[in-house]
Amino acid sequence: FIGPKVEHLKLFGDKGAARAAAVSAGVPVLKGIDKAVTLKEAGAFFDEVNGGIIIKAVAGGGGRGTRSVADKADLEEAFTRCESEAKASFGIGDLYVEEFVEKARHVEIQILGDAGGNVVHFGERECSAQRRNQKIVEIAPAPGLDRELLNDMVESATQFAKKEGYFSLGTFEFLVDVGSKEAKFVFIEANARLQVEHTVTEEVTGIDIVQSQIKLAAGATLAAVSYTHLTQPTKRIV
């Protein structure tokens, strides 16, 4: 099998469990509930936050089973639709909730880990341009974002991956709140797989990360394939 370990597929396939693991690793997350919720619990959470919330499928992906709610009067309909969509798409209707960030940039960090617990990253991709919560444009490196902020985001991704002993390719995704006076980032999910947008990273780094994944699955270490340092992108690709 070429890919992450079974325990990582299980952990990051459950978005609520992934949130809890992020907190344990010292990685910032949005205010939310780390488990499947009922409509009543979602309503109580709505009352707690100052602003709207977002409903997400626990087993979600690709924007399915996801809706933001700014008015509590719309909560029941949104919850029901998300539940139905999640069941149809993933076979699981469980939903969780987080506070909604109205003005945010979506940035993902590409990482690679070996069987010895070593982890490297290949920089970031920005995927803020979306339609119906699905990415339509990827840019690398992310334009106009503070490098110190990006470095902190990279550190959070690699720290999280190392704590979990992450093996093979993975993408750790973050939101950057650009609506606040001081920009801050939060973890939202991790994709334990090779993503279709991996080619953007390959173009900017010149590294074949699919080949890298295969080598690690065959028993190689990161040191053996010369990924022992931060890889800096050589150009921007859109």
- Residue 123 near residue 204, CB atoms below 8 Å: yes
- What is the secondary structure of 151-217 as a DSSP string? HHHHHHHHHHHHHTT--EEEEEEEEEE-SSSS-EEEEEEEE-S--TTHHHHHHHH---HHHHHHHHH
Phi, psi angles (nearest 5°) of residue 68: -95, 150
Closest by Cα among 180, 197, 42 to 134: 197
193 an active-site residue? yes
Angle between the N-to-C axes of helices 15-24 and 147-163, in degrees from 0 to 180, rounded to the nearest 10: 100
Alpha-carbon separation of residue 64 from 25, 88, 170, 173, 196 (angstroms)? 27, 10, 20, 17, 17
Alpha-carbon separation of residue 88 from 60, 83, 92, 94 (angstroms)? 11, 9, 8, 12
| Catalytic residue of the set 19, 105, 125, 193 | 193
Q: What angle do CA 36, 61, 17 make, to 5 degrees?
A: 40
DSSP character for 91? S
Q: Which residues are marked as active site?
A: 193
